[in-house]
Amino acid sequence: MALRTLQKWHGAGNDFLVDVIEHGTANGWDAARARAVCNRYTGVGADGLLVATLGSHVDMVLYNADGSVAEMSGNGIRCLAAAVRRATHATWANLSVMTDAGMREVSLSMDDDAGYGSVTMGEVSFASPLAGSLGVANVGNPHVVVLDDPQWSDAEREMRAAQLEALVGGANVEFVTPLADDRVRIKVIERGVGWTLACGTGSVATVAVCHRAGLCSNDVTVENPGGPLRVQLEGDHATLSGPVQFVANVEWLEV
């Protein structure tokens, strides 16, 4: 048995456990351990586990709650940057983070245990829309965006999401309601997680698809169930902004 010290953070309700380790240190995480610590009943509970390896830049590995590895998380990378800053007692405002989707630049402003940050999310690419969807986009990870119908139950949304994401080999599925030129609302079923209170990459994908369809502008507030995120587009390149909040230091007894 080993005792692991982790930090817990959330961005608009999208919660993560973060392990900050030094370069050259074996992190010891695998799918089974990540699944165990993220379990909300028998573990600590989180949408995902982030491993931050310190060096000339920070390397990020993201495990979903089911133990699968994800390429990128817009909320997670802000939480990881805040956890690194806290663990190293740093005061910097900018951090370079290497993810499985490539290098990302995080800007962060902190006030004690809360803050607000932005992330360069790179270029959004598009695939042919699937029948029943508004569009398919990739933000370092895959997304299917669907125009929501208020008459659908969540069970029906889950069924539609399962059918659509299977057609692209797995994806996050966003159900969007356009509210104004600069505001949309989404509900997200995240690959490897399920329903989540917020999704950063999903917010970016939604705005990119909606903007392409003429349903919104290029600077949009995305109302997630856990709170608002902001997406700004310059062509097909996106920046995501949103909050971070420290929750707790956690000691997890790994068995």
CATH number of 2-120+242-254: 3.10.310.10
pLDDT score recorded for residue 2: 73
So where are the chain's domains? 2-120+242-254, 122-241
Ranges under pLDDT 50 in the chain:
none
pLDDT score recorded for residue 22: 86
85 neighbors 92 (Cβ within 8 angstroms): yes
CATH architecture for the domain at 122-241: Roll (3.10)
CA separation for the pair 127, 203 (Å, rounded): 17
Tell me whether domains 2-120+242-254 and 122-241 share a fold.
yes
Q: Which of 110, 118, 94, 51 is nearest to 246 (CA)?
A: 110
145 neighbors 157 (Cβ within 8 angstroms): no
CA separation for the pair 110, 83 (Å, rounded): 11
Q: Could you tell me if residue 48 is left (phi over 0), alpha (psi between -120 and 50 degrees) or otherwise beta?
A: beta
pLDDT score recorded for residue 35: 96
150 neighbors 163 (Cβ within 8 angstroms): no
DSSP count for the chain of H helices, then E strands = 4, 17
pLDDT score recorded for residue 23: 76
pLDDT score recorded for residue 255: 65
pTM as predicted = 0.93
pLDDT score recorded for residue 1: 52
Chain segment 113-128, per-residue pLDDT in tens: 999 999 999 999 999 9
